[in-house]
Structure 1
Amino acid sequence: MSDILARTRATALEKGEGLSEPELLQVLELGDQHLPELLDLAHQVRLRWCGEEVEIEGIISLKTGGCPEDCHFCSQSGLFESPVRSVQLDVAELVEAAKQTRKSGATEFCIVAAVKGPDERLMRQLEEAVAAVRAEVDINISVSVGILTREQVDRLKTAGVKRYNHNLESARSFFPRVATTHTWDERHRTLEMIRDAGIEVCSGGILGMGESLAQRAEFAVQLAAFAPEEVPINFLDPRPGTPFASRPLIDAAEALKATAMLRLAMPKATLRFGGGRELTLGDLGVEKGLAGGANALIVGNYLTTLGRPMEDDLDMLDGLRIPIKAVGQVI
């Protein structure tokens, strides 16, 4: 076994502590012949510190398209020639979507809007939507509406939002190549306010945007500094009309290695496979990922791309005999 894997066993598995940035880079630089050992170790870490349950989540967009930001991976930007039209949902539609999500066994329902940050009208819609869903559906509610002010954070806390998603997306050193209309530090400040308010932190990003292995290790330790409850792991799905439209897909073995690396950076976090997993990993790769550090899935469709049918994911989990986490259960 490689020396780094032996050291990882002592740090992440036995102590539940994340690896350092140089150690995470060594993990990413392991040859593919070590991949089975790495995935097995990441799985042992997940089982010891998170349990065997897998958490599933559904997401829905309150406002899709027409975003003023220029995130180079995103077809919701109003600045690109992307085939996403602006759509808004009403509260009744959100409640119905939450009910359908709950029927799947999902424990979390995330309300998303394509904005830099919410204006007063959107804040009132969110407060109304969260109240309506909480009144009718037994499910944890997450929100993702961009960069917040302190007053907006407090209002979401009062409304009953359990978790807030705001992805750092990539390492601070790489972020200027991802977006120019806002900064990594603005995203970071929102997460600080969320954590200070006692709302759970959900923050991850997208792998395969052109970042180096060193920047993936940098990204992991920057995420770990927040001790996030949840880390979404997305893989770039190049969208037509965006600046990243011609980028190649990340290799499946590289994606699995990065997933294991994130588990070893954050032994106790929920690592959730999100967008791009079907293209990058395929069915077999997703199964390997769930046996290699990941312990959660977004089921159904994503914000601008189609996922696998929800039933297929549920059948996969059943076939693997992986139990689904119940609402309110702590892992």
Structure 2
Amino acid sequence: MTVTADQTDILALAREQVLDGGIGLDRSQIEAVLRLPDERTPQLLELAHEVRMRWCGPEVEVEGIVSLKTGGCPEDCHFCSQSGRFLSPVRAVRLDIPGLVAAARQTVVTGATEFCIVAAVRGPDAGLLAQVRAGIEAIRADPMTAEVNIACSLGMLTQDQVDELVEMGVHRYNHNLETARSHFTEVVTTHTWEERRETLRMVGAAGMEVCCGGIIGMGETVQQRAEFAAELSEVDPDEVPLNFLIPNPGTPFQDYPVVEGTEALRTVGAFRLALPRTILRFAGGRELTFGDLGAEQGMLGGVNAIIVGNYLTNLGRPAQQDLDMLEELRMPIKALNRTL
């Protein structure tokens, strides 16, 4: 007989189902975790850390990101200061190839194994793909950056574009679902959740690793937060970047409250119990939501990857501060292991 979340203590159930069995929580179980009282959050984080250690191991994957094209995006993602539809301070600029290589070199210095090239577009045109190709060739030609794994985040793709990125040697593709399917139209109206999901399907089928996450704190309910985690589990991504809303000036979400720290930590733990084998990455908004102490608690609560440095249009904390934190926590940085 299947035991449901309301028939027993949810953390006892998760210990048996997730820690011992490696089976992620379902939607109703995730919701039960998200509704735990604050005083049980430390117990949740301890279990989430055990799950991470058993099913992912102790290593932390470090990644740096760079914006190849910033601002001027035609889409209306309500959280994003790069949309050309909003009166945000961000203006459209492009990074040249030497600048791209310089960013890759800075990333490698931190010990990162992943370098993600990002563009604020609905989807890439021929000119942008040509620039990405030239950038990848330049990064591969530099002895310092030749070995780093290259990821891309270029919006929605066609099958031909997917095939072209595979041919370029792109290791992983990021395309976030952003939020629960039932909440998506409250966040974006210029394209659909289904369009994003189709890009992810093509990326996975082509053999690239799938990176898919979203943003917590965009007005979703607890039920929708659980729905989102369950939908990500169905995608079965290699990596889930977990962002927390930064209420950027000039965007429709500029007055939204910052997610409270304990609630955010509980969300981290719940996502780990939903996705026991997935790379769960601390991404944008963690400094604002958690502060320094919360970052450490998150790393001990199921997170096993981190973006170092800045986040596109928002500043992060210095990379060395994160590297020092990992050293203090005795968490080894994942080494590069590429087959050439």
Could you tell me the TM-score, scaled by structure 1's length? 0.98
Secondary structure of the structure 2 residue equivalent to 1:272: strand
Cα deviation code 1:128-176 (max 9, x no counterpart): 1122212321211000000000000000001000000000000000000
**What code does the residue aligned with 1:253 have?**
T
CA distance in 1, matches of 2:197, 2:168: 23
Aligned to 2:90: 84
Which residue in 1 is equivalent to 2:10? 4
The match for 2:80 is: 74
Name 2:322's counterpart in structure 1. Answer: 313
Structure 1: distance between partners of 2:290 and 2:337: 30
Q: Say yes or no: does 1:110 pair with 2:119.
A: no
Partner residue in 1 for 2:23: 17
C-alpha deviations, 1:244-300, integer Å up to 9, x for none?
000000010110111111111110111111110001001100100000011111000
1:282 aligns with: 291
Secondary structure at the aligned position of 1:142 is classed as strand
Equivalent residue in structure 2 for 1:258, among 267, 274, 283: 267
TM-score (norm 2): 0.95
The aligned counterpart of 1:191 is 200
More divergent stretch after superposition (31-40 vs 130-139): 130-139
Cα RMSD, aligned residues only: 1.1
Displacement over 2 Å in runs of 4+: none
Q: Following the alignment from structure 2 to structure 1, what is the Cα–Cα distance between the partners of residues 253 and 87?
A: 12
Q: Matched residue pairs, number?
A: 329
Tell me what 1:234 maps to.
243
Once residues 250 and 287 of structure 2 are traced to their aligned partners in structure 1, the CA distance between those partners, rounded to angstroms, is: 21
Letter aligned with residue 68 of structure 1: P
For residues 148 and 18 of structure 2, the distance between their equivalents in structure 1, rounded to whole angstroms, comes to: 31
> How does 1:212-251 map onto structure 2 within 5 Å?
212-251=221-260
Match among 107, 114, 131 for residue 101 of structure 1: 107
List per-residue Cα deviations over 1:63-100 (Å, max 9, x = no partner): 00000000000000000000001110111211111111
Amino acid at match of 1:144: S
**Following the alignment from structure 2 to structure 1, what is the Cα–Cα distance between the partners of residues 211 and 69?**
20
Does structure 1 residue 171 correspond to structure 2 residue 180?
yes
> How many Å separate the matches in 1 of 2:24 and 2:329?
28
CA distance in 1, matches of 2:17, 2:149: 32
What amino acid sits opposite 2:102 in the alignment?
E
Structure 2 matches for 1:39-78, cutoff 5 A?
Answer: 39-78=45-84
State the partner residue of 2:5. none
Distance 1:170 1:77 in 2: 18
The 3-state SS of whatever aligns with 1:246 is: coil
- Distance, in Å, in 2 between the alignment partners of 1:27 and 1:150 is 38
% same residue: 60
Give 3-state SS (helix, strand or coil) of 1:281's partner: helix
SS of match in other structure, 1:174:
helix
Q: For residues 41 and 111 of structure 2, what CA distance do their matches in structure 1 show?
A: 32
User: Are 1:148 and 2:157 an aligned pair?
Assistant: yes
CA distance in 2, matches of 1:276, 1:66: 22
Q: Does 1:300 align with 2:306?
A: no
Structure 1 residues without counterparts, runs of 5 or longer: none
Q: Distance in 1 between matches of 2:132 and 2:273?
A: 35
SS at match of 2:118: strand
Deviates more, 1:123-132 or 1:254-263: 123-132
SS at match of 2:182: coil
Matched with 1:27 is 33
2:141: which partner in 1?
135
Q: 319-328 or 244-253: which moved more? A: 319-328
Identify the match of residue 125 of structure 2 among 119, 123, 128: 119
Is 1:270 aligned to 2:279, yes or no?
A: yes
Cα offset, 1:329, TM superposition = 7.7
Distance 2:239 2:137 in 1: 23
Of 241-250 and 123-132, more deviation after overlay is shown by 123-132
- Aligned partners of 2:137 and 2:28: how far apart in 1? 45
Map Cα deviations across residues 2-46 of structure 1 (whole Å, 9 max, x no partner): 711111011111111111100000000111111111000000000
